[in-house]
Amino acid sequence: MRGLRPAIFESISRRRSELLTGEGVVGGRLKEVSHQQSDFERPMQQAKSSSEPATTADPAATLISVPPFDLARYLRERTGVIERQLAISIAESDGPANRLVEAMRYSLMAGGKRLRPILALAACEAVGGQIEPAIGYACALEMIHTYSLVHDDLPCMDDDDLRRGRPTNHKVFGEAIATLAGDGLLTDAFGLFARSAKAAGIPAELVVDTIAAARSSIYWPRASR
């Protein structure tokens, strides 16, 4: 995982450079750009004085200056996108389930690095995709992660008192509500992904495969003995 993160961000930076310099995806394959001299340029260069220093600079690089990839800025911007989407993914409620919804939002909106959803968006961008169709899946990953934290903190598990500098969910809402809050986050995560995938026109077969892959990241069955 540690080695994967820099690779994804390097891919985004490389993709950004390709778009700025005119390279990119053509016919579904990466366009291979060779910087060989043309038949016209070669004799012109040979005619130059041998005392002139040889230059091997990329012609595209001399025309377009690509600024360096600002990782800190990228993380800030994507964190803001994730935070806004999470806030509306589980809307506040005044109905009978308002206490449960409050408990779910208490843990979901408690901050954090949001690296999992950011990596999901980064992977999408690295292959030339737009983040809008992927935002639901990214937020679903964060909801699954938050569910695991709520349940890990329960008295029957780690029995933690603090999470991200605040009292844990069961310390505020009680063990029963905290258990249901984790269950609700996990269930709503798959619902959010399914709805957003449908709105983006993603084929149902791909949605099922992705949900199955997400499920395998939550539970690993023991090998038979």
Report the percentage of the chain scoring pLDDT > 90.
52
- CATH (domain of 90): 1.10.600.10
Q: What is the pLDDT of residue 9?
A: 67
Token reading at 169: 């969910």
For 136-150, what is each residue's pLDDT tens digit? 999 999 999 999 999
Q: What is the pLDDT of residue 130?
A: 92
Q: What is the pLDDT of residue 61?
A: 53
Q: Closest by alpha carbon to 152, among 112, 189, 116, 181?
A: 181
For 100-122, what is each residue's pLDDT tens digit? 999 999 999 998 899 999 999 99
Residue 195 has pLDDT above 60, yes or no: yes
Token reading at 119: 């990596």
| Residue 177: inside a domain | yes
Q: What is the pLDDT of residue 66?
A: 73
| Residue 194: inside a domain | yes
Residue 56 has pLDDT above 80, yes or no: no
Rounded to 10 deg, the angle between the 4-21 and 71-89 helix axes is 100
CA dihedral 8, 9, 10, 13 (to 10 degrees): 130
First to last CA, the chain: 29
Residue 196 has pLDDT above 70, yes or no: yes
| Residue 39: inside a domain | no
Mean pLDDT, rounded, of the chain: 79
Report the percentage of the chain scoring pLDDT > 70.
68
Domain containing residue 106: 72-218
Containing H/E element for 54? Answer: none
| Residue 55: inside a domain | no
For residue 162, what are the β-bridge partners?
A: 167
| Residue 138: inside a domain | yes
What's the number of domains the chain is made of? 1
d(CA 165, CA 170): 14
For 127-178, what is each residue's pLDDT tens digit? 999 999 999 999 999 999 999 999 999 999 999 999 988 999 999 999 999 9
Please count the other Cβ atoms lying within 10 Å of the Cβ belonging to residue 220. Answer: 7
For 17-52, what is each residue's pLDDT tens digit? 665 555 544 434 334 433 444 443 444 455 444 455
Q: What is the pLDDT of residue 214?
A: 76
| Residue 20: inside a domain | no
Higher pLDDT, 99 or 25: 99
Q: What is the pLDDT of residue 5?
A: 58
Q: What is the pLDDT of residue 207?
A: 87
CA dihedral 116, 100, 103, 170 (to 10 degrees): -110
Q: Closest by alpha carbon to 85, among 37, 148, 18, 134?
A: 134
| Residue 135: inside a domain | yes
pTM above 0.75, yes or no: no
| Residue 159: inside a domain | yes
